[in-house]
């Protein structure tokens, strides 16, 4: 029965294509491909158009993560529900998107989890990390429950060259990551690998105390101690902090956490990494972690870490930076915009600089996989290729290849507004980028400033950034926004592009049965013991007890399950 249906579909396809006259070709070939999308890959399918417009309006439902901060940045009269990006997408493809629901923050997470639990998926949507649950886990959960459409064929047929080029640049690993049993179930993003955690510090303080620029964690410790004790702001009061840090989320990806510090010690907490024998071990339990904790405990003892850091979160810690009380933090390239931006507005005299924390000749970087979000299609939705087309459009816009939208962004209503807002009426953007996108840009800037290249090597997206950087270099601190952009790109991204990176990946992002049950207990235990060791409430030897206890409370079983699953994936 199935075979007969397939045959007739193929026959129909041939007839339709054969009959189509010249003027009607685009429309008919799209129709043919709609049928062809469900046929096996080895069928001689018509060349699919990655940006092809549907003959009849295709309606689909989705969900929107309506971040209120982003909403403020919409130009007047526009919103998540109605904006020029969404309109462009809808008219250029002849589609209509309807959000099933909109939410933000924890409400979004809860609704998202409930949506999966109640099997009430929209047609096309984006899966992101939800709280502590990685996107990959959610993807697997939906795959296991048979809720997702197989996208293998439509990806092959419809993905634009730009997207395929990006995936090829990471050896299609991101695609493999979104595949189960050889079939693709989500269109993965590919992230820019600029996840380097670096030291941001007040260069003017450093110079005042006659200290050398930091290279290693030991230098960092010495500077933090000096910043605490030697009155770097010169006001005669002992009111400065060493390293501004927060303990509420010790190793999360937020600024102010201690990630960069422990990575530099070759410790990768909360990640599954390979040990010498090639087996996966939990990074929080390795001997390197113990060494790193020992150093942090020393810093706490020296008073270089705020004594109440365990009770603080990022916002509270940012106040220390903004109020001129702290001159050093660990963070990422974009930190000049936040939290350092607040301090720059407050005290424009402050001179900030970024330094990598070196381990030998390189900087260690821990990464989740190449991708942390996937665009997926609900099982049974008639036009799975639409998801690919949407991604093609997002990708084209991210490299400024869509003239209508580019016009809006350079001369039109989007000129002054921020590009981080949700633009397409989906919950987020998924457009694969080269893993070294920003580094490529900074290298171009460096060449231009060195006189080895002309400004015409810049693309449309890079030009405005370059202009800001250049006007900052010509007129230092005339416009503080230019200063922040300069810091982020030339200092922050400069560290990313000029330092040799040793990228370590989390080798297992799934979830195992024991993990499901024990993860809360284990992560509570870990944070508690680590904080107690750092704060000197427990001796460093408590780390060994922690490892024993961690194994006993389910960690050993989890490690076994993880290795079994990992072996299966190989």
Given the rule CB under 8 A, which residues bind another protein? 109-110, 113, 116-119, 131-133, 141-142, 145-147, 247-248, 307-308, 310-311, 516-517, 519-521, 524, 527-528, 531-532, 553
Residue 57 is given by DSSP the state P
Whole-angstrom Cα distance, residue 255 to residue 197?
A: 9
Nearest-approach distance from CB 136 to another protein, in angstroms = 14
Whole-angstrom Cα distance, residue 503 to residue 526?
A: 24
Question: Closest CB to another protein among 245 and 485?
Answer: 245
Q: What is the DSSP string of 381-440?
A: -S-THHHHHHHHHHHHHHTT--HHHHHHHHTSTTSSS-TTS--SSSSS------TTHHHH
Question: Closest CB to another protein among 86 and 538?
Answer: 538
Nearest-approach distance from CB 340 to another protein, in angstroms = 23
What the block records as the tokens of 290 is: 């113990």
Whole-angstrom Cα distance, residue 365 to residue 356?
A: 11
Nearest-approach distance from CB 535 to another protein, in angstroms = 8
Nearest-approach distance from CB 291 to another protein, in angstroms = 22
Q: Check if the beta carbon of residue 305 is closer than 8 Å to that of residue 299.
A: yes
Question: Closest CB to another protein among 57 and 106?
Answer: 106
Residue 418's CB: how many other CB atoms inside 10 A? 11
Residue with tokens 């030991």: 218
Q: Does the CA dihedral 176-177-181-187 come out positive or negative?
A: negative
Nearest-approach distance from CB 516 to another protein, in angstroms = 6
First to last CA, the chain: 37
What the block records as the tokens of 148 is: 């997702």
Nearest-approach distance from CB 118 to another protein, in angstroms = 7
Whole-angstrom Cα distance, residue 72 to residue 82?
A: 14
Question: Closest CB to another protein among 111 and 173?
Answer: 111
Residue 211 is given by DSSP the state -
Question: Closest CB to another protein among 258 and 487?
Answer: 258
Nearest-approach distance from CB 513 to another protein, in angstroms = 10
Nearest-approach distance from CB 150 to another protein, in angstroms = 16
Please report, for residues 69, 242, 463, the alpha-carbon distance to residue 424 in angstroms, rounded to integers and kept in the order given.
16, 43, 24
Question: Closest CB to another protein among 141 and 208?
Answer: 141
Nearest-approach distance from CB 36 to another protein, in angstroms = 28
Question: Closest CB to another protein among 138 and 196?
Answer: 138
Contacts of residues 434-438 at CB distance under 8 Å and 24 or more positions apart, as own/partner, are 434/166, 434/169, 434/190, 434/192, 435/169, 435/170, 435/190, 435/191, 435/192, 435/193, 435/370, 436/192, 436/193, 436/497, 437/192, 437/194, 438/192, 438/194, 438/333, 438/489, 438/493, 438/496, 438/497
Q: What's the chain's length in residues?
A: 570
Question: Closest CB to another protein among 142 and 198?
Answer: 142
Question: Closest CB to another protein among 103 and 147?
Answer: 147
Question: Closest CB to another protein among 306 and 409?
Answer: 306
Question: Closest CB to another protein among 37 and 529?
Answer: 529
Nearest-approach distance from CB 289 to another protein, in angstroms = 17
Question: Closest CB to another protein among 242 and 336?
Answer: 242
Residue 503 is given by DSSP the state E
Nearest-approach distance from CB 135 to another protein, in angstroms = 13
Of 154, 150, 178, nearest in space to 377 by CA:
150
> Which H or E element spans position 343?
helix 340-346
Question: Closest CB to another protein among 340 and 547?
Answer: 547
- In sequence order, the 6+-apart residues with CB closer than 8 A to the CB of 242 are 224, 225, 227, 228, 299, 302, 303, 304, 305, 306, 326, 328
Nearest-approach distance from CB 518 to another protein, in angstroms = 9
Whole-angstrom Cα distance, residue 196 to residue 371?
A: 16
Whole-angstrom Cα distance, residue 540 to residue 551?
A: 18
- In sequence order, the 6+-apart residues with CB closer than 8 A to the CB of 287 are none
Q: Check if the beta carbon of residue 373 is closer than 8 Å to that of residue 130.
A: no
Residue 491 is given by DSSP the state I
Nearest-approach distance from CB 520 to another protein, in angstroms = 4
């Amino acid at each position: 029965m199935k075979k007969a249906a397939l045959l007739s579909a193929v026959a129909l396809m041939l007839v339709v294509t054969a009959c189509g006259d010249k003027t009607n070709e685009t429309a008919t070939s799209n129709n043919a491909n709609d049928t062809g999308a469900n046929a096996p890959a080895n069928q001689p399918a018509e060349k699919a158009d990655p940006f092809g417009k549907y003959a009849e309006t295709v309606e689909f439902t989705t969900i929107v993560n309506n971040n209120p901060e982003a909403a403020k940045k919409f130009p007047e009269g526009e919103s998540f529900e109605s904006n020029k990006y969404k309109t462009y997408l809808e008219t250029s493809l002849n589609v209509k998107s309807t959000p099933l629901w909109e939410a933000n923050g924890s409400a979004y997470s809860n609704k998202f989890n409930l949506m999966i639990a109640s099997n009430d998926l929209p047609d096309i949507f984006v899966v992101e990390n939800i709280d502590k649950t990685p996107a990959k886990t959610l993807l697997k959960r939906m795959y296991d429950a048979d809720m997702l459409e197989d996208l293998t064929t439509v990806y092959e047929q419809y993905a634009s060259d730009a997207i395929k080029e990006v995936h090829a640049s990471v050896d299609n690993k991101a695609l493999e990551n979104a595949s189960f049993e050889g079939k693709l179930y989500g269109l993965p993003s590919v992230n820019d690998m600029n996840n380097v955690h670096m030291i941001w510090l007040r260069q003017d303080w450093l110079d005042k105390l006659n200290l050398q620029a930091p290279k290693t964690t030991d230098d960092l410790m010495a500077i933090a101690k000096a910043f605490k004790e030697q009155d770097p702001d010169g006001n005669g009061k002992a009111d400065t902090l060493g390293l501004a840090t927060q303990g509420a989320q010790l190793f999360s990806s937020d600024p102010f956490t201690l990630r960069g510090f422990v990575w530099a010690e070759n410790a990768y907490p909360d990640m599954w990494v390979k040990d010498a024998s090639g087996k996966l071990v939990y990074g929080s339990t390795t001997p390197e972690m113990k060494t790193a904790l020992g150093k942090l405990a020393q810093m706490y003892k020296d008073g270089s870490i705020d004594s109440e850091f365990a009770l603080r979160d990022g916002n509270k810690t940012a106040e220390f930076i903004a109020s001129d009380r702290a001159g050093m933090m660990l963070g990422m390239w974009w930190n000049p915009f936040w939290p350092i931006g607040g301090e720059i507005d407050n005290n424009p005299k402050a001179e900030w600089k970024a330094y990598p924390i070196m381990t030998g000749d390189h900087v260690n970087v821990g990464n989740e996989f190449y991708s942390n979000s996937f665009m997926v299609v609900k099982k049974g939705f008639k036009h799975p290729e639409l998801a690919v087309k949407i991604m093609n459009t997002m990708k084209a816009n991210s490299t400024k290849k869509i003239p209508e939208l580019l016009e809006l962004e350079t001369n039109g209503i989007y000129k002054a507004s921020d590009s981080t807002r949700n633009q397409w009426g989906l919950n987020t953007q998924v457009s694969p980028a080269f893993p070294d996108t920003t580094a490529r840009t900074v290298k171009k800037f460096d060449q231009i400033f060195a006189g080895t290249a002309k400004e015409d090597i810049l693309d449309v997206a890079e030009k405005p950034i370059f202009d800001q950087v250049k006007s900052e270099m010509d007129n230092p601190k005339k416009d503080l926004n230019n200063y922040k952009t300069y810091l982020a790109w030339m200092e922050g991204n400069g560290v990313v592009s000029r330092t040799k990176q040793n990228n370590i990946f989390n080798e297992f992002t799934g979830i195992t049965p024991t993990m499901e049950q024990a993860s809360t207990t284990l992560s509570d235990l870990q944070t508690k013991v680590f904080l107690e060791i750092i704060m000197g409430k427990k001796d460093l030897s408590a780390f060994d007890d922690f490892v024993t206890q961690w194994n006993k409370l389910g960690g050993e079983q989890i490690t076994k399950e993880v290795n079994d699953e990992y072996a299966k994936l190989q």
